[in-house]
Structure 1
Amino acid sequence: MADTPDIAPKILVIDDAVTVRRYLRDIAEKAGFAVAEAANGMEGLERALSDRFALFLVDVNMRKMDGYRFLAEVRQRPEIADIPAVMISTEARPEDRQKAFEAGANFYQVKPVEPEWLTRFLTLLVGDARDA
């Protein structure tokens, strides 16, 4: 059973709020995942292209590049197009959810995210990090 960040599946958290990134990082790391962060979609895309991730957790509203555009860009790039993405946002209207799926999200979750839910969902999409 490996629990080192070099072996654990790596998740990229993309959100402009430092507190949200830290919150999601804490949950994912407690579940055994390695975590990298980006403050906006542009930074997220650069990180996604320079490293291999098992999953993206993406906010909607960010400067420079929002989450919808980030996902659309990811889905156009064969080297990263297959990585699952969960959009996590305060936007709760059905049209926001639909727009996320059209951009390439695999799932849409309205904030706040419960730690137990996120842990179960990460394990479902990526596998149990503690077995990596």
Structure 2
Amino acid sequence: MAHALIIDDSSTVRLYYREVLEADGFTVDEALNGMEGLEKVMMERFDLLLVDVNMPKMDGYTFLQQLRQMPEMQDIPAMMISTESQDVDRARAYASGANVYMAKPVHPVELAAVARLMSGQALERIPA
């Protein structure tokens, strides 16, 4: 069973991602911002990170940049999901260390499929 960490300051968004991922067999933990996210990844091993861009204390770009500076954290797949949807936002996400960039709102079937693919889980069903 894959273990995902959702890093987003919105409780509604975290709940939505949690419900989608848990329904697809993931175990899920949450962080309210990049600072809390860094603390959690240093304490526990995760198979997937879902990272928002705009958060207090530490934004998603800074979180990924700091995460990728740690050799033992460079291989954790990271999905950046944001309302920012310009090409410059996408480019900045990839430059910061994201493996996938998705613009909100994300359809639950797409979210689950990409999460399974990124975490190395077999796709049990093909999205319609």
Aligned length: 123
Per the TM alignment, residue 60 of structure 1 is displaced from its structure 2 partner at its CA by 0.1
Residues 1:22 and 2:21 aligned together: no
1:47-70 Cα distance to aligned partner (Å, 9 max, x none): 011000001000000000000000
| Aligned equivalents of 1:63, 1:129: Cα separation in 2 | 35
Per the TM alignment, residue 128 of structure 1 is displaced from its structure 2 partner at its CA by 3.5
Question: Structure 1: which 4+ aligned runs deviate by more than 3 Å?
Answer: none
| Aligned equivalents of 2:42, 2:122: Cα separation in 1 | 24
| Aligned equivalents of 2:70, 2:76: Cα separation in 1 | 11
AA aligned to 2:66 is E
Aligned residue number for residue 3 of structure 1: none
Residues 1:97 and 2:93 aligned together: no
Aligned residue number for residue 37 of structure 2: 44
**TM-score of the two chains, using structure 1 as the length reference:** 0.90
Residues 1:124 and 2:114 aligned together: no
Q: Which runs of 5+ in 2 are unaligned?
A: none
CA contact (8 A) 1:9 1:129 kept: no
**TM-score of the two chains, using structure 2 as the length reference:** 0.93
Could you say what secondary structure the match of 1:122 adopts? helix
| Aligned equivalents of 1:92, 1:56: Cα separation in 2 | 19
Residue of structure 1 aligned with 2:59, choices 52, 66, 71: 66
Q: Which runs of 5+ in 1 are unaligned?
A: 1-7
The structure whose RCO (Cα within 8 Å, separation 6+) is larger is 1
Could you say what secondary structure the match of 2:73 adopts? coil
| Aligned equivalents of 2:13, 2:116: Cα separation in 1 | 20
| Aligned equivalents of 2:24, 2:112: Cα separation in 1 | 6
AA aligned to 2:22 is E
Aligned CA RMSD, in angstroms, stands at 1.2
| Aligned equivalents of 2:46, 2:123: Cα separation in 1 | 13
